[in-house]
Amino acid sequence: MKDVVKIFDTTLRDGEQVPGCKLDTKNKLNLAIQLDNLGVDILEAGFPISSPGDFESVIEISKNVKNASVCALSRANEKDIEVAAESLRHAIKPRIHTGIGTSDIHIKYKFNSNKDAIIELAKRSVSYAKKFVEDVEFYAEDAGRTDNIFLAKVCEEVIKSGATVLNIPDTTGYCLPSEYGEKIKFLKENVKGINNVTISCHCHNDLGLATANSISGVINGARQIECTINGIGERAGNTSLEEVVMIMRQHPNLNLDTNINSKLLYSTSQQVSDLMGMPVQPNKAVVGSNAFAHSSGIHQDGVIKKRETYEIIDPKDVGVDKSSIILTARSGRAALAYKMKEIGVELTKVQLDSVYQEFLTLADIQKEVSERDLPILLDKQNIKHG
Ligand code: KIV
Ligand code: ZN
């Protein structure tokens, strides 16, 4: 039996913080329903104290989301927590996500404070949030750059105050996967009460390591990953939901899985991209337009013979109809014959040889030879077609 890693989606909070990605309540709600159908376990709906619009969005999402826990972000102060609790009052499963920076640099420069005072604030905010909801997640902001011994102390104290989930964010995307994994392991081994709570990975992508760090976290005992669709988020973004989900699915030896219906990944990715006006990079893992496209002759020949020669994911598993063969000047005869067959033309070997020369001339001029070009190639060689 595989262990379940909970998926905490923060597309509507950390993802929406990207300049230009702000959504109004109607669009946030539509996306929240899609994410709920996708099967996320926790949906971070917003940061309610930040604006009346965000407060309103969290209320509407709380009223309408039926399966996922609905979570609202707050800082470690009473006013933030009260507003978060108020915005969650209709949620079936409400969660307050409160916390404070724990790294030396945050303590000194952001708060002009000291370690003892930070622990006090952390404890007080968790205890205060517990007055409103049972499920309280604590984030130790910049945990990635926080000394492990101090981090363990903070974690132990907030567990005593009632935290149900400990979020260990690599806020600046600094950690190496080995370091981040060791951090989680250290907490697992050194924090009293840790086995009664869930450890959560929240990784940013400043060095392109967010996904690797999150996976390292769950290998070392975390059981929740905080992520966004398409990996959108502050600066270089957050851990990409579709990547961590498919890594766990494609690697059965990890013995980990999620509750995500992966067949909805592609449509959800498209919806987020459309609503937020953020194009998905073509080479984006799992959901990019080139993720299942093959254009070089060697790969095309292999894929046509057996898809698995160059694909480790069945496109249908993520909601993409099929792999695609793209005709370019790097394509071979096998791909051309395959595409001709798709338009109903079976070429003999001799015909294929002659059309292929014609094809190469065109492919050197155009970046891509499309289906519309195929009849023209056939006409040039006087080959009959429908
Ligand atoms: O990156 C971060 O540290 C955060 C926290 C507010 C959870 O987004
Ligand atoms: Zn973040």
Distance 288 CA to ligand 2 centre (A): 23
> Ligand 1 in contact with 139 (CB < 6 A)?
yes
Model pLDDT for residues 136-175, shown as the tens digit of each residue: 999 999 999 999 999 999 999 999 999 999 999 999 999 9
In the predicted model, what is the mean pLDDT of the chain? 97
- 160 has which bridge partners? none
What number is the average pLDDT over the span 48-52? 97
Q: Work out the pLDDT band at 15, boundaries 50, 70, 90.
A: very high
In the predicted structure, residue 255 carries a pLDDT above the cut 90: yes
pLDDT tens digits for 97-140?
999 999 999 999 999 999 999 999 999 999 999 999 999 999 99
The tokens of 357 are what? 């020369």
Atom of ligand 1 nearest to the CA of 73: 6
Question: Cα(234)–Cα(118) distance, rounded to whole angstroms?
Answer: 25
Q: Which atom of ligand 1 is nearest to the CA of 141?
A: 3
Atom 2, ligand 1: residue with shortest CA distance? 171
Q: Tell whether ligand 1 has an atom less than 6 A from the beta carbon of residue 13.
A: no
What does the pLDDT average to over 62-66? Answer: 98
Beta bridge partners of 98: 74, 138
Domains in the chain, CATH or no CATH each: 3-276 (3.20.20.70), 293-380 (1.10.238)
Using a pLDDT cut of 70, give the percent of the chain over it.
100
Ligand 1 pocket member 14 (CB < 6 A): yes
Q: How many CB atoms lie within 10 A of CB 76?
A: 24
271-323: pLDDT as tens digits: 999 999 999 999 999 999 999 999 999 999 999 999 999 999 999 999 999 99
| 139 Cα nearest atom in ligand 1 | 7
Residue 237 Cβ < 6 Å to ligand 1: no
Q: What is the pLDDT of residue 386?
A: 78
pLDDT above 90: residue 66? yes
240 lines ligand 1 (CB under 6 A): no
Residue 171 Cβ contacting ligand 1 at under 6 Å: yes
**Which residues, including other chains, have CB under 8 Å from residue 39's CB and lie 6 or more apart?**
7, 67, 258, 259, 260, 261, 264
40 C-alpha to ligand 2 centroid (Å): 17
Residue nearest to atom 8 of ligand 1 (CA): 14
Query: Does 202 sit in the ligand 1 pocket, CB within 6 Å?
Result: yes
**Joined tokens for residue 261:** 């219906």
317-370 confidence digits (pLDDT tens): 999 999 999 999 999 999 999 999 999 999 999 999 999 999 999 999 999 999
